[in-house]
Chain A
Amino acid sequence: MSASAVHSLWTTAATAADPITKIDAPKIEYGQLSPTLIVVGAAIIGVLIEAFVPRKSRYVAQVFMSAVALCAAFAAVVALAADGYGTTKAHIAAMGAIAVDGPSLFLQGTILLAGLVGLFTFAERRLDPEAHGNRVDSFAAQAASVPGSDSEKAAVKAGFTTTEVFPLLLFAISGMLVFPSANDLLTLFVALEVFSLPLYLLCALARRKRLMSQEAAVKYFLLGAFASAFTLFGIALLYGYAGSVSYARIAQVVDGTVTNVDPALADTMGNDALLLVGGAMIVMGLLFKVGAVPFHMWTPDVYQGAPTPVTGFMASATKVAAFGALLRLLYVVLPGLRWDWRPVMWAVAIITMLGGAIVAITQTDIKRLLAYSSIAHAGFILAGVIATSKDGVSSVLFYLAAYSFVTLGAFAVVTLVRDAGGEATHLSKWAGLGRRSPLVAAVFAVFLLAFAGIPLTSGFAGKFAVFKAAAEGGAAPLVVIGVISSAVAAFFYIRVIVLMFFSEPRPEGPTVAVPSPLTMTAIGLGVVVTLVLGVAPQYFLDLANQAGVFVR
């Protein structure tokens, strides 16, 4: 038997129509995906820096490289927006996986700026006293060493620092950039995991109170994994319903406007149970990420336990990304189902607003207080989501941008107030801060007033925008409840101000550390954005308004 005859036993000669040539090379619009690609590339370079650059120069290299990458990615977003990709040229890139449109670009820009400010607070090394002659940041010397053990002491003594946080930050940001622009369910899930996993890790890396930090990370990881599982299950059910993971296709099936129905689809597309349960499970996963009641349980523990720079970044950027994804899911995939999801979202928004505001009153730790405040704010943003109108989209976009800078600034201030045990987060220690450090207290008061939605701050403009959209969308009772919970929320923000300005300082109270220009930039930017968006929000409202249209 000849060699070729033997070969033919298990192969056939290629016919003229080679099956390989039938698969088209995927068409990737690298230019339009450049913001994400730049950040992913930088994250990978960051890993390489960890591997090859000597320990002494890693910090500088990482910070510099990350900052450059984030700036470049932001520039790419601006260039795309200026080119009209946010409005007229909005389209779906990467074989239907990624939508490049107004909301995507707006949210990506916001996330990148928040990431940049977050990076500044990550890189801060002047707050903690020097350990063995080395400047230290907020992160554990060596994550793997057991808290309190000899190996930890040795790591501190050797001046180790966890510079891995920078690539982790970049990976998280890259996932967040994809999350709100994902245009099919699988991309959505991959993005969810890409940004969640680094965050779980970052939460565990606090230098002080390490056990608490690790506990927070475990809680976050377990509950997060649970939520991810829900999301994935929901994706499977929706796929079973519509026979596709593509947003546009599912929307068509839901609307009943779908063409070329194959027999399998004809079988399943009448099965509303699949659709409703699947949709609900995905939405649940997203509500977990935004911290809406009743999926909020992780928020206070994680916010309190995580290193404060991580908390600040997480509180702002995660919320932006998750609300972006939620908006796209509800507005692009499930608009045909809005009569089903609106009542549910009403209920969630109401209990989120009231629950967050009421529980916050009893808090005695500033980080937990801000956590509950962030829950209440999630409720306000949901009111805008419920509007189901273009104004609803743009008001949510504006609120997210306004809120993230206030949050970053507020948590950056929290890092400054310290005593011997690290950050003094117990509220009683903040008594009389206004006497000792009027400037820091005044800045924090500005952030609190913005959270409370007092006019002339960005918080008011944002709140007005979402409530207006909600009222126009026929949700007037929601506005009234929102207003009432704002009043409740105002109470505990004011309480902190009272404590800072009208209480006598304690003799052994905390000191305010003088930060490096990095944290100062973060706080300064927070104040400027808060006031500018409060006094002259017109430009940014227009921007959000132009960006308020999804591509399908």
Chain B
Amino acid sequence: MSFPLLTATAVLPAIGAIATAAVPAARRTAAKWLALLVSLATLALAITILVRFDPDGSRYQLTESHSWIAYFGVRYELGVDGIAVALIALTALLMPFIILAGWHDADPLETGSRRWRPTQGFFALILAVEAMVIISFEATDVFLFYIFFEAMLIPMYFLIGGFGDRAHEHGEEAASTQRSYAAVKFLLYNLIGGLIMLAAVIGLYVVAGNFSLQEIAQARANGSLHMATSTERWLFLGFFFAFAVKAPLWPLHTWLPNAMQESTAPVAVLITAVVDKVGTFAMLRFCLQLFPEASKWATPVILVLALISIVYGALLAVGQRDIKRLVAYASISHFGFIILGIFAMTSQGQSGATLYMVNHGISTAALMLVAGFLISRRGSRLIGDYGGVQKVAPVLAGTFLIGGLATLSLPGLAPFVSEFLVLVGTFTRYPAVGIIATFGIVLAALYTLVLYQRTMTGPVKKEVSAMPDLRVRELVVVAPLIVLLVFLGVYPKPVTDIVNPAVKSTLSDVHKKDPKPPVEAAK
């Protein structure tokens, strides 16, 4: 038996979480370093997966399969395709930055109870989330996926509810109330989504008799497993509902602005750049493969919802006064693009959507983390409290600008490539949809540039005048992300090479071929 690389990648952060939580109360710094080291080691393992993965090889690679709960027909089955590899790499890559950016976020204000260890808890929870996200990317057993899809809510919930920005205009009491409101909202939305999915998971078992993604997909493909049309649609809706809450898709998105606003910047990045990706990923992996016919049946409605997300998210972003809320609504708009790409059912669209997941992760991380550094300096999240920062802290302003430009998909930066692919992929099949989606880009330019203008340019406000520029730790966080944005913007081939074959096989599951280019059709 070969070394279980996939298991190791998920187990390492899990062990790291336990070890971090066990560090004595007085040794806070040791806990931070431990968490950072574990996340770096996980990154090393993720890179190993990337290297060992052969894009032209079989569909699922590095597979592991063990009996787990035979009584339910549940197996411990792991395997990665190109899409999963890309997202695992993204997760593992962002984690060290998230940890480093949140270095001081959980330092206790006062030495309270001897046993109260917020710092250890903070970093342990982050690592726990990493472990669960990675295993949900790897799971090819529906039940196994479901367990971690649901279980990751618990550490996320404590991260949102337990840790927030230090400064708050209405004092700590109000902040704590709002935080727990956001955490409860996050949890209830996702839990209800998850429970509805549970009903569908049980239904799938009753129909199929096991939980193995590959077996069910194969049985569906060769016709040995027949599903009644209505059954397939109900099951699809059960799965899709959970993923649409997680992604989030309009109108199930309202938890995201609250959660991102109230949590610290690194946790907000964790939510939107990492955890939410499980939702869009699962649409590709589970909805399309298990229920191809129902996916096609639902496509028109989903495209409309995605369009609404794109435009509505962007419009609301324009009107925000709170920096983090603005980024949250921008993310909702971006998730609309991702879902649009997935359900356009073209290879450009789905490659673009996968690439979009990676790029959105990196660009949001860059923008949000810099925004977090900004907010921690001034102690306010309101855009109106800033002005003229670029004169005082030029490096901060510059990195903020690059993050913002990436968000509006400036050519030359990574998100441009993916957004372009999604739009092209959509346009070839649904021209009208493609045209409307383009408005999202225009609005993105608006909200990003207005945000930059109002915070960074203009006369220097008094409260901002003594603002220090980025420190070394903060530069270490931001610089690599920006380098990556530029690199993937100019040369996205490494990612697309990995992703494309996987997208091809996903498309063949739903029996869709790319529409012929109009020129060729005219011949």
A residues at B contact (CB < 8 Å): 435-439, 449, 454-456, 460-461, 464-465, 467-468, 471-472, 476, 479-480, 483-484, 486-487, 490-491, 494-495, 498, 501-504, 537-538, 541-542, 545
Question: How distant is the Cα of A202 from the Cα of B148 in the complex, in angstroms?
Answer: 43
Q: Is B180 an interface residue (CB 8 A)?
A: yes
Shortest Cβ distance from residue B5 to the other chain A in the assembled complex, whole angstroms: 22
- Whether B71 lies near A455 (C-beta < 8 A) is no
User: Could you name 10 residue pairs across A and B whose Cβ atoms are closer than 8 Å?
Assistant: A435-B113, A454-B151, A455-B150, A456-B151, A468-B202, A479-B199, A480-B199, A483-B198, A487-B192, A501-B161
Whether A541 touches B154, Cβ cut-off 8 Å, given contacts A501-B161, A504-B173, is no
Which residues from B are CB-within-8-Å of A487? Answer: 188, 191-192, 195
Q: How large is the interface on B (under 10, 10 to 19, 20 to 34, 35 or more residues)?
A: 35 or more
Shortest Cβ distance from residue A226 to the other chain B in the assembled complex, whole angstroms: 37
CB under 8 Å from chain A, chain B span 102-125: 112-113, 115-117
- Whether A472 lies near B71 (C-beta < 8 A) is no
Which residues from A are CB-within-8-Å of B70? Answer: 538, 542
Which residues from B are CB-within-8-Å of A537? Answer: 69, 71
- Whether B188 lies near A490 (C-beta < 8 A) is yes
B residues at A contact (CB < 8 Å): 67-72, 112-113, 115-117, 146-148, 150-151, 153-154, 157-158, 161-162, 173, 176, 179-180, 183-184, 187-188, 191-192, 195-196, 198-199, 202-203, 205-206
- Whether B150 lies near A545 (C-beta < 8 A) is no
Which residues from B are CB-within-8-Å of A476? Answer: 203, 206
Question: How distant is the Cα of A437 from the Cα of B192 in the complex, in angstroms?
Answer: 30
Shortest Cβ distance from residue B178 to the other chain A in the assembled complex, whole angstroms: 11
- Whether A468 lies near B69 (C-beta < 8 A) is no
- Whether A437 lies near B202 (C-beta < 8 A) is no
Number of CB contacts from chain A to chain B under 8 A: 99
- Whether B173 lies near A502 (C-beta < 8 A) is no
Interface SS, A side? helix
- Whether B150 lies near A438 (C-beta < 8 A) is no
- Whether A454 lies near B154 (C-beta < 8 A) is yes
- Whether B68 lies near A438 (C-beta < 8 A) is no
Question: How distant is the Cα of A449 from the Cα of B195 in the complex, in angstroms?
Answer: 14
Which residues from B are CB-within-8-Å of A454? Answer: 150-151, 153-154
Shortest Cβ distance from residue B210 to the other chain A in the assembled complex, whole angstroms: 12
Instruction: Choose from A438, A491, A502, A542 the contact partner of B161 (Cβ within 8 Å).
Output: A502
Question: How distant is the Cα of A411 from the Cα of B177 in the complex, in angstroms?
Answer: 28
- Whether B113 lies near A483 (C-beta < 8 A) is no
- Whether B146 lies near A483 (C-beta < 8 A) is no
- Whether A471 lies near B203 (C-beta < 8 A) is yes
Known: A483-B195, A484-B195. 13 other contacts (CB 8 A): A439-B115, A455-B146, A455-B150, A460-B147, A461-B69, A468-B206, A487-B192, A490-B188, A494-B187, A498-B180, A502-B179, A504-B176, A538-B68
Which residues from A are CB-within-8-Å of B147? Answer: 455-456, 460
Central interface residue in A487, A491, A495, by most chain B CB within 10 Å: A487
- Whether A501 lies near B151 (C-beta < 8 A) is no
- Whether A438 lies near B148 (C-beta < 8 A) is no
Shortest Cβ distance from residue A506 to the other chain B in the assembled complex, whole angstroms: 13
Which residues from A are CB-within-8-Å of B71? Answer: 465, 537-538, 541-542, 545
- Whether A538 lies near B69 (C-beta < 8 A) is yes
The 3 closest A-B pairs by CB, nearest first: A455-B147, A541-B71, A502-B180
- Whether A467 lies near B113 (C-beta < 8 A) is no
Shortest Cβ distance from residue B447 to the other chain A in the assembled complex, whole angstroms: 32
- Whether A494 lies near B198 (C-beta < 8 A) is no
Q: Which of chain B's residues has its CB closest to A486's CB?
A: B195
- Whether A464 lies near B72 (C-beta < 8 A) is yes
Q: Which of chain A's residues has its CB closest to B192's CB?
A: A487
Q: Which of chain A's residues has its CB closest to B164's CB?
A: A502
Question: How distant is the Cα of A542 from the Cα of B150 in the complex, in angstroms?
Answer: 25
Question: How distant is the Cα of A495 from the Cα of B206 in the complex, in angstroms?
Answer: 34
Question: How distant is the Cα of A461 from the Cα of B68 in the complex, in angstroms?
Answer: 13
- Whether B69 lies near A541 (C-beta < 8 A) is yes
Instruction: Choose from B112, B146, B176, B203 the contact partner of A502 (Cβ within 8 Å).
Output: B176
Which residues from A are CB-within-8-Å of B199? Answer: 467, 479-480, 483
- Whether B206 lies near A498 (C-beta < 8 A) is no
Shortest Cβ distance from residue A135 to the other chain B in the assembled complex, whole angstroms: 27
Question: How distant is the Cα of A486 from the Cα of B199 in the complex, in angstroms?
Answer: 11
Which residues from A are CB-within-8-Å of B112? Answer: 435
- Whether A438 lies near B116 (C-beta < 8 A) is yes
Q: Which of chain B's residues has its CB closest to A452's CB?
A: B191
- Whether A438 lies near B117 (C-beta < 8 A) is yes
Question: How distant is the Cα of A436 from the Cα of B116 in the complex, in angstroms?
Answer: 7
Which residues from A are CB-within-8-Å of B162? Answer: 501-502
Which residues from B are CB-within-8-Å of A486? Answer: 195
Shortest Cβ distance from residue B144 to the other chain A in the assembled complex, whole angstroms: 10
Which residues from A are CB-within-8-Å of B192? Answer: 487
Question: How distant is the Cα of A467 from the Cα of B161 in the complex, in angstroms?
Answer: 31
